[in-house]
Amino acid sequence: MIKSVLFDAYGTLYDVHSVTKKCNELYHGRGMEISQIWRQKQLDYVWITSLMDKYKDFWSLTKEALYYSLEELGLQYNEKIVEEILNEYLHLSLYPEVMEALNNFRPRELFILSNGNLRMLNELVKNTYLDKHLDGIISVEDYKVYKPKPDAYDLAAKRLGLDKEEILFISSNGWDAAGSKSFGFTVGWLNRFGKPADRLGMTPDFIASDLKELAQITKSI
């Protein structure tokens, strides 16, 4: 019986590529290129530093990944521009169905579980008026461990005081769906873009193309 629903933030509730608009303003027409390299590098840096046992917080890694992206594309920048783009992470767009769909997961308690710093997540949630729709935010930050490490999912179970089977975890990121399933959560993979399933030896319990559909098919579990 599911008692709490945990949502990944970046890519799942929030469109990380909504930074494209600001990047296009600053670098005419290069927004999508910047955004795509930036997102891939951000994930790479999280994983590589984790494997190296050299923890660095998510805000800093996101900033380093942004510097790299601008450099790779040969774009001029200064600290003011970098901060301006980086601050878009505090104002990402919610995917259109999210606000309405969240209520369909009630009466369970609803939380975010994210690799982001707590400050980033708090500001983002507040800026997008999602704070009234959630029961809380769980950041991996205090534990200095990142998803998809098992400890990152375990800290959420401990924080909620629940068995892992009592938690439904939802992510659009294939690696996150695999990692959380491997840990032992009940998992919904939000396949927003009709991608093939990642071949990581783990099968999510539920698959849907948007959050409303996912709420529907997990209603009675």
Question: What residues act catalytically?
Answer: 8
C-beta of 106: minimal distance to a copy of itself in Å? Answer: 31
- Considering only residues 49 through 68, tell me which ones interact with a copy of itself, judged by CB under 8 A: 49-54, 56, 64-65, 67-68
Q: Is 83 in the site for a copy of itself (CB under 8 A)?
A: no
Question: By C-alpha distance, which of 43, 60, 59 is closest to 51?
Answer: 43
* Span 181-210, contacts to a copy of itself by CB under 8 A: 182, 195-196, 198-201
DSSP state of 90: G
Considering only 7-15, 48-56, 105-113, 117-125, which stretch makes contact with a copy of itself by CB under 8 A?
Answer: 48-56
Residue 71 near a copy of itself by CB under 8 A: yes
Alpha helices in the chain (DSSP H): 20-26, 31-51, 58-72, 79-86, 98-102, 118-127, 150-160, 174-183, 211-217
Q: Rounded distance, CA 169 to CA 216, Å?
A: 15
Task: Single out the segment in contact with a copy of itself by CB under 8 A; choices: 42-50, 84-92, 160-168, 204-212.
Answer: 42-50
DSSP bridge pairs for 208: 190
**Rule CB under 8 A: which residues touch a copy of itself?**
40, 44-45, 47-54, 56, 64-65, 67-68, 71-72, 146, 148-150, 175, 178-179, 182, 195-196, 198-201
